């Protein structure tokens, strides 16, 4: 069985997360995707919603899908002041589950392009495969030649390889293009614009009830 982790800030979770993940599951025959909310994203501004609120929105968004569950290992109290480095999370997952099980980490094309800024990025494949979802506005080919070389060395388009090998491959998925970002959603809400079509109705209701992302808090 190929286990998949889908890391993110999810501030808030939106259809740009859910739709590509659902399509990816179909494409690769994944039966479980574990959403992995970070506490302190190392590479971007700190979340506006607090950890409990982001977690609550995740739970609401996935309530109707048996495919998804939430892995809270990056939210553990002992990690309260530490940036959530993916490599450390993968090591912790391997300590818990051993080295033989196939593990994949899902990310969008934007995250792939930013990989050279990640801690020990070239070691990520020692612990998992990377599954890359398309994202509009981000080039398929990296400018960074070291990254491109690394991708070329580890590329596969064979789903069986991902299921059979525990780690070590990069797969570009044929997922739908969803022009949605959490930044745009937060900005729209702050500007009193509707985002109903960009996220699940339950999450939209939660944002309203808790007056999230609204600088005026009106
Ligand atoms: P922000 O706008 O706050 O930077 P975001 O919308 O990019 O947030 P994150 O929670 O940071 O959302 O993203 C988590 C993961 O989901 C990342 O790997 C990111 O590339 C991927 N992702 C987010 N939105 C999309 C999208 N529209 N299409 C494909 N992948 C996406």
CATH code, domain with 173: 3.40.50.620
Would 200 be classed as within a structural domain? no
Name the average pLDDT for the chain.
94
Q: Name the band, by pLDDT with cuts 50, 70 and 90, for residue 90.
A: very high
Looking at residue 50, its pLDDT comes to: 95
What integer is the mean pLDDT of 121-141? Answer: 95
Q: What is the pLDDT of residues 2-53, one digit of tens each?
A: 999 999 999 999 999 999 999 999 999 999 999 999 998 888 889 999 999 9
DSSP 8-state code for residue 118:
S
Q: How far is the CA of 108 from the centre of ligand 1 (A)?
A: 6
Query: What confidence tier does 154 reach under pLDDT thresholds 50, 70, 90?
Result: very high
Residue 203 in domain: no
Q: Which helix (H) or strand (E) holds 88?
A: helix 86-97
Total number of domains in the chain: 1
Pocket of ligand 1 from Cβ distances under 6 Å: 8-11, 16-17, 20, 44, 107-108, 110-111, 133, 135, 178, 180-183
Residue 216 above 80 pLDDT? no
- For residue 184, is it within any domain? no
- Residue 147 inside a domain? The answer is yes
pLDDT digits (tens, 9 = 90+) for 174-215: 999 999 999 999 999 999 998 889 999 999 999 999 999 986
Q: Whose CA is nearest to atom 27 of ligand 1?
A: 16
Q: Per-residue confidence at 218, pLDDT binned at 50, 70, 90?
A: very low
* Distance from the alpha carbon of residue 132 to the mean position of ligand 1, in angstroms: 12
Domain residues for 25? 3-179
* Residue 214 placed within a domain: no
| pLDDT reading at 166 higher than 90 | yes
In a domain, 153, yes or no: yes
Tell me whether residue 194 is in a domain.
no
Taking the C-alpha atoms of residue 21 and residue 27, their distance in angstroms, rounded to an integer, is: 10
108 pLDDT higher than 80: yes
Residue 191 counted as domain residue = no
């Amino acid at each position: 069985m190929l286990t998949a982790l889908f890391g993110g800030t999810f501030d808030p979770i939106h259809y740009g997360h859910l739709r590509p993940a659902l399509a990816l599951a179909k494409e690769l025959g994944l039966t479980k995707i574990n959403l992995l909310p970070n506490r302190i994203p190392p590479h971007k501004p700190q979340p506006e919603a607090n950890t409990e609120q982001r977690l609550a929105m995740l739970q609401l968004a996935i309530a109707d899908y048996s495919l998804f569950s939430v892995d809270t290992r990056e939210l553990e109290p002992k990690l309260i002041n530490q940036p959530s480095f993916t490599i450390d999370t993968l090591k912790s997952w391997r300590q818990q589950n051993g080295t033989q099980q196939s593990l994949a980490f899902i990310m969008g094309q934007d995250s792939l392009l930013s990989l050279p800024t990640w801690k020990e990025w070239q070691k990520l494949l020692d612990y998992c495969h990377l599954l890359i979802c398309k994202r509009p506005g981000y080039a398929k080919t990296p400018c960074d030649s070291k990254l491109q070389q690394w991708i070329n060395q580890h590329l596969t388009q064979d789903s069986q390889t991902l299921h059979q090998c525990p780690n070590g491959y990069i797969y570009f998925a044929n997922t739908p293009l969803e022009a949605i970002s959490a930044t745009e959603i937060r900005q729209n809400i702050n500007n009193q614009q509707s985002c109903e079509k960009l996220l699940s109705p339950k999450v939209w209701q939660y944002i309203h009830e808790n007056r999230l992302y609204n600088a005026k808090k009106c």
